[in-house]
Amino acid sequence: MPNTNSIGFVCGTKGDAVTFLVNTNVTLSFGQIVRIESDKRSFYARVVNSESSSTLETIEQLREAQGKEAFGPYSAYRSVEAVLFLEKRGDSIRSPTFNPNYRDQVYAATDEDCAVLNLTGELQVGRLRSENQLLSSVGINIDAIPRMMGMFGMTGSGKTNTELVINAQIIDNSPRTVALIYDFAGQLLEGKEIKTQKGLKHHPLFPTRIQYYSGQDGKMAVGLKTITPGKLEMLFPDIQPPQRRLAWQLFRHFGANWIENSRELYRSEGNVGVRAQKVVVEALMQKLSSLSGELFPSSDYTFVDSALQNICNGVSCLVDISGMRSEDQNRVVCLSSSTIAEHYKRTWESNFDEWLKLPTLLITLEEAHEFLDPNKPRTIFSDIALTYRKYRVGLNAVTPRPSRINFDVFAELWTKVIMKTELKKDRMYLTENTPYMEYSETEIKMLDVGEALLISEPKIKFAVPIRVTHYPEYLEKHPPIDHGLRDFQSLSIMDEKLRMLRSQEKVKL
């Protein structure tokens, strides 16, 4: 390892904790990675604490402060505590088997160390932070997608920017990967920033690899005829078994028109045409009547089929549910995710070769605490997080409130991007339930906007301090591609052209 100047030397070790004294004029920061050379081994450690003091007695300190006497340059010191996370011996890298020795030299991590730590990946998230420098790129691999992800940080900490950066690269890697993104705030298409205004619309592959669905243009409808009783659980998580049985009875009786016919009958005659207990009828009909006509019209079209088809073809889907009632948002999100995830599962079971051709899917879910709260009825997302890994369906749970995420699900999120979090309860939850994070509670509070700690097991087993790439910077490196669409005035010609572009791409694949 080419050594730059050492920044200090080890003055004590205990278990995985190392204390070292820092040379004068060296600046360090919490979370910084340091290397300790120890005979034939190198150890890597993260700075977790620091203390400065002097060996002088108080009276001597006072005399020196008053300028009456000088007590020598080595009497003041700064000691730093660091926690070991990796050991390198020859070419082998592993968790530490021992700890460094007294007087071993300490160095600040360099770009060469980044190579040793193997922090780069196919999906680049940002760059390694080392004090005030940015070192080489840090990223996760595509096989991390189905191992589930989480992004945590308080309002304004940079979660949406990180979502954009990761999903943009999932789109770049299509059709190997594909993204299904739920946008609760309506800011991912165009960007809602006063200064930059950049969103997925500005992605160079937007015309061919991204499909946008919005609740506001009527395109995001779920026709009542497409809703079978089996899907009711996605629309009404609190539905009880007797109501489900009644729904099946109605479905057998009326066929695909079961919701409209039973609603009509109930309105005009107070019954639903099949024998059932009054309370059960009331409970079910109350649920069915709450489906708004705008989102659930009486048709046999559902945007979910279109989204499914796009996902299977490697076209990422941005589903804008901003401005909807929160019950409708939940319905759209659960219904579409379950249909798509279920398709992956069924294809895996019944047609493995076909499944191999499906792109690896990442579902980005903001407000994830609303869907993964242990105190609320279970949703499809806990199933996805717990069991859909083998089908290559991944979940990216984004939330400012990690402590409200079901513990079992939280434990399954192998990649975590942790951004500034001030609430103690959330910081405690993050550090107590994430391996190698037990010393990082203070650090999480002190992160700046766009700064994060990244863990991606099994590849990155420790919290790497990074600065996430700013999405506008990413776009600068990925200039627009001319798809030859500008000359077309009519939207229908443009649609046709897009269809052609997509089918040509499919043929090429």
The pair of three-digit structure tokens given for residue 395, joined into one six-digit string: 């979940």
Please write down the HEC assignment for all residues of 389-434.
HHHCEEEEEEECCHHHCCHHHHHHCCEEEECCCCCHHHHHHHHHCC
Per-residue interface string for the shown chain with ligand ATP, residues 183-202, x marking contact by CB under 6 A: ----------x---------
Task: Name the residue nearer to Mg ion (CB basis): 88 or 159.
Answer: 159
Contacts of 364 (CB under 8 A, 6+ apart): 163, 167, 179, 180, 181, 182, 396, 398
Any contact of residue 157 with Mg ion (CB under 5 A)? no
Count of residues in contact with Mg ion, rule CB under 5 A: 2
Distance (Å, whole) CA 410 – CA 455:
13
> What does 161 bind: ligand ATP, Mg ion, none (CB cut-off 5 to 8 Å by kind)?
ligand ATP
Yes or no: say if 461 and 454 are a contact pair by the CB < 8 Å rule: no
CB 186 to ligand ATP: min, Å: 11
Sign of CA dihedral 338, 304, 188, 321: negative
Distance (Å, whole) CA 391 – CA 52:
53
Any contact of residue 162 with Mg ion (CB under 5 A)? no
CB 160 to Mg ion: min, Å: 3
CB 411 to ligand ATP: min, Å: 23
Distance (Å, whole) CA 354 – CA 360:
13
Kindly identify the residues of this chain, within the stretch 177-206, that bind Mg ion according to CB under 5 A: none
Dihedral, CA of residue 85, residue 38, residue 20 and residue 107, to nearest 10: -80
Per-residue interface string for the shown chain with ligand ATP, residues 109-148, x marking contact by CB under 6 A: ----------------------------------------
460: nearest Cα among 233, 125, 22? 125
Kindly identify the residues of this chain, within the stretch 435-454, that bind ligand ATP according to CB under 6 A: 449-450
Any contact of residue 156 with ligand ATP (CB under 6 A)? yes
Residue with the closest Cβ to Mg ion? Answer: 160
Task: Name the residue nearer to ligand ATP (CB basis): 187 or 306.
Answer: 187
Any contact of residue 347 with Mg ion (CB under 5 A)? no
- Cα-based angle 176, 123, 183 (whole degrees, multiple of 5): 80
Among 130, 160, 214, 226, binds Mg ion (CB under 5 A): 160
Single-letter amino acid, residue 352? F
> What does 153 bind: Mg ion, ligand ATP, none (CB cut-off 5 to 8 Å by kind)?
ligand ATP
List residues near ligand ATP by CB under 6 A.
Answer: 153, 155-161, 193, 400, 449-450, 468, 470
